[in-house]
Homo-oligomer: A and B are copies of this chain.
Amino acid sequence: MINPLSSFVFSHPLIATASAENGSLVLAGVLLSLVVVYFASKIGGEICARLDLPSVLGELVAGVLVGVSALHLLVFPSADFDASRSLIMQALQMTAHLDPEALNGVFESQSEVISVLAEIGVVILLFEIGLESDLKELIRVGYQAAVVACVGVAVPFGLGTAGLMLIGAALTATSIGITARVLSEIQRISSKEGQIIIGAAVLDDVLGIIVLAVVAGLAKTGEVQVASVIYLILSAAVFLIGSLWLGRLVSPFFVTLVNELKTRGQLLVSALIVAFILSDIAVVIQLEAILGAFAAGLILAETEKRGELEEQIKPIADMLVPVFFVVVGARTDVSVLNPFDPSNREGLIMSGFLIVVAILGKVVTGFTVFGQPGLNRLAIGVGMIPRGEVGLVFASFGATTGILSDALQAAIIVMVILTTFVAPPLLRLVFQREETAPVLSRPDDA
């Protein structure tokens, strides 16, 4: 009944009791949503593990099952969805008896918290990926990664623009979260292919942001906003190179400081401070939080604390990363895939074209890598296939500005769904085919 924290500040009497009561419900809703997330991730993950598929695929599919497409356990507020369509809210309402408006407030707060937890999950994931990566190896494969990134942006963009520029833009950016998770599962992150994929995926995220700026400028004013494009390129370069350079300088002091601290969690909390500050800087200069977290991981991986930190970040990743993948699945409305609904058909045909372009445009990138004999080029290309979040942001932008028809928007969504779901098993397959290649990953990578 009593929620301690949310009633600490009580300026307006009526608000005070209402928020005390509802705050407790928000916590209950968040915990219940997490229970749904954990059940879904474990059931989906375990089934896939037994079928020898990547467990992240199971998390995505289980997310679809509990989400907006099927069970409505984990749904998010929108024009079509208020609290009355969320099973969790209905369950809480059985004992709470709130009026509909108050219940919608609880629904919105709970959804906001779950969304941010999912985003912190992907921040932690990228931090962990950074920790598991090898900066020297990344720099060594830097040229190759840059080529893969540029080709992987240029080819799908070029092919897609044959349709429409925005479609091309939506095809550019690889979803680093999905690829990194699969690489981690099959213990290939620190292989040369893994490092090229990670490096290229980080770079094409930056390129994707630049492409969006260009396309948005064209859509708004009919001309390319050169200044903002230059700003983005410069700030991304300064941020990545600057943080790594500064990090190398400062990290000995970090280790000394951590060794001086005496209270519980000294290493973990100090590392989280570094990760969150760099994530924040990335957001402030209009890049993405995950880039900052990745840079922080790379920096701290260079210190002697790497092993200890990997050990401590693991339970946190286990707690928060599944939230990201299940939420991605839960937010995906697969009803646009239903071929029996006539209104879906135009989109489905368009999406056939898009999927071919999306897959081919990335698979070719592996074969552009030069001077690296014995590399699994197909694996690199396949690793770049999944488009996740950024593609959907483009679809959203297209819908907002009226550039895209409903069918085209649906086609982009279908493309994102299929590339996201197809890449994990494919990636696993192409890596397994070459069992002769050396496995460079560390034993504790699992």
Q: What residues make up the interface of A, taking CB atoms closer than 8 Å to B?
A: 1-17, 20, 23-28, 30-32, 34-35, 38-39, 41-42, 45-46, 49-50, 55, 68, 76, 78-81, 92, 95, 109, 112-113, 115-116, 118-120, 122-123, 209, 212-213, 261-266, 268-270, 272-273, 276-277, 279-280, 283-289, 312-319, 322, 324, 327-328, 331-332, 388-390, 392-393, 395-397, 399-400, 402, 446
Flag if B8 contacts A400 (CB, 8 Å).
no
Chain B residues near A328 (CB-CB < 8 A): 5, 8
Known pairs A9-B331, A12-B79, A400-B13; A392 contacts B4 (CB<8 A): yes
Given A32-B280, A35-B280, A399-B13, decide whether A319 and B7 contact each other with a Cβ distance below 8 A: no
Q: List 6 A-B contacts (CB under 8 A).
A: A8-B389, A8-B392, A11-B79, A30-B116, A31-B123, A112-B113
A181 to B12, CA, bound (A): 32
Chain B residue with Cβ nearest A119: B27
CB–CB B2/A209 < 8 A: yes
Can you name the residue of chain B whose Cβ is closest to the Cβ of A330? B8
- Chain B residues contacting A8 (CB-CB under 8 Å) are 76, 328, 331-332, 389, 392
A4 to B112, Cβ gap below 8 A?
no
Name which residue of chain B comes closest to A50, CB basis: B262
Which of chain B's residues has its CB closest to A122's CB?
A: B4
Q: Find the residue from A280, A286, A389 having the highest chain B CB count within 10 A.
A: A280
Knowing A17-B400, A120-B30, A319-B269 are in contact, say whether A35-B276 is a contact too (CB < 8 A).
yes
Q: How distant is A127 from chain B, measured CB to nearest CB, in Å?
A: 12
The 3 lowest CB-CB distance pairs between A and B, nearest first, are A4-B389, A265-B318, A11-B79
A339–chain B nearest beta-carbon distance, Å? 23
| A269 proximity list for chain B (CB < 8 A) | 38, 41-42, 318-319, 322
Residues of B within 8 A of A9 (CB): 68, 76, 78, 81, 331
Complex contacts, A388 vs chain B, CB 8 Å: 4
- Neighbouring B residues of A446 by C-beta, 8 Å: 264
Chain A interface helix/strand/loop/mixed: helix
Q: A291 CB to closest chain B CB, in angstroms?
A: 11
Contacts of A25 in B (CB 8 A): 283
Cβ contacts under 8 Å, A14 to chain B = 400
Is B55 a contact partner of A263 (Cβ separation < 8 A)?
A: yes
A116: which B residues are within 8 A, CB to CB?
26-27, 30, 109, 113
Report how far A6 CA is from B38 CA in the complex, Å: 21
Bound together, the chains give a CA A8 to CA B80 distance in angstroms of 14
Instruction: Knowing A30-B120, A318-B269 are in contact, say whether A327-B35 is a contact too (CB < 8 A).
Output: no
Measured CB to CB, the closest approach of chain B to A228, in angstroms, equals: 10
Contact A283 B34 (CB under 8 A): no
- Report chain B residues within 8 Å CB of A115: 5-6, 23
Q: Give every chain B residue within 8 A of A324 (Cβ-Cβ).
A: 5
Contact of A276 among B4, B34, B266, B399 (CB under 8 A): B34
Q: Smallest CB–CB gap between A57 and chain B, Å?
A: 12
Which one of B15, B41, B95, B315 contacts A312 once the chains associate, using CB atoms below 8 Å? Answer: B315
Contact among B1, B122, B287, B332 with A212 in the assembled complex (CB-CB below 8 Å)? B1
Nearest CB of chain B from residue A136's CB, rounded to whole Å: 27
A28 touches B284 (CB 8 A): yes
| Chain B residues positioned under 8 Å from A284 (CB to CB) | 28, 92, 95
Contact A289 B31, beta carbon cutoff 8 Å: yes
Contacts of A270 in B (CB 8 A): 38, 42
The residues of B that contact A17 with a CB separation of less than 8 Å are 396-397, 400
Residues of chain B with a CB closer than 8 A to A319's CB: 265, 268-269, 272, 316
CB-contact partner of A287 in B1, B68, B276, B312, under 8 A: B1
Nearest neighbor of A394 in chain B, beta-carbon distance: B2
| A390 partner residues in chain B, CB cutoff 8 A | 2, 4
Cα of A383 to Cα of B207 in the assembled complex, Å: 58
A263 interface neighbour in B46, B273, B280, Cβ under 8 Å: B46
